[in-house]
């Protein structure tokens, strides 16, 4: 539902909020992700956009970063209307399971939940400034 026909049979990598925040902090770039996953289309789910919009309406550094992401990074990504409501992590897991997508995250909890469900994950390790690629979709 909401899944574009032209995305079928392609590797789709969906970015979560933690990865987008690292980009805003200058610790990572979209180019780094494209290098790690050269055969994947980088995308963002609508639920992540909604979370960023909510964050941007608050005050502080996190709000400014969310606003910057919405203006500068999101337009460079494929937007996928998931039709899924509720918790963002649950929506990412549900969509990735249904569509066989890769999840790109730096959130250890999300990574662990995804791996347990057999979802491919590109996990960014700040300490190593690199990705740990887990799962059959990434081989």
pLDDT at 139 over 80: no
- Per CATH, domain 9-138 is 3.40.50.720: no
Q: What is the pLDDT of residue 127?
A: 81
For CA atoms 54, 57, 62, 67, the dihedral sign is positive
**Per residue in 60-103, pLDDT tens?**
999 999 999 999 999 999 999 998 888 999 999 999 999 999 99
Question: What is the C-alpha radius of gyration for the chain, rounded to an integer number of angstroms?
Answer: 14
Reported pTM:
0.88
Measured from the Cβ of residue 97, the count of other Cβ atoms closer than 10 Å reads 13
pLDDT at 8 over 60: no
* Domain layout of the chain by residue ranges: 9-138
Average pLDDT, the chain: 90
**Rounded Cα distance, 126 and 96, in Å:** 23
């Amino acid at each position: 539902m909401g899944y574009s026909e032209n995305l079928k049979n392609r590797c789709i990598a969906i970015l979560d909020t933690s990865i987008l925040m690292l980009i805003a902090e200058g610790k990572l770039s979209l180019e780094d992700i494209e290098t790690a996953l050269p055969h994947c289309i980088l995308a963002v789910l609508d639920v992540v956009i909604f979370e960023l919009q909510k964050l941007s309406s608050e005050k502080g550094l996190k709000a400014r970063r969310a606003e910057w992401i919405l203006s500068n990074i999101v337009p460079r990504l494929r937007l996928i209307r998931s039709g899924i409501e509720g918790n963002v992590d649950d929506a990412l897991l549900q969509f990735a399971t249904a569509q066989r997508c890769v999840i790109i995250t730096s959130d250890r909890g999300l990574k662990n939940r995804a791996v347990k469900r057999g979802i491919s994950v590109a996990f960014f390790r700040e300490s190593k400034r690199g990705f740990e690629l887990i799962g059959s979709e990434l081989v």
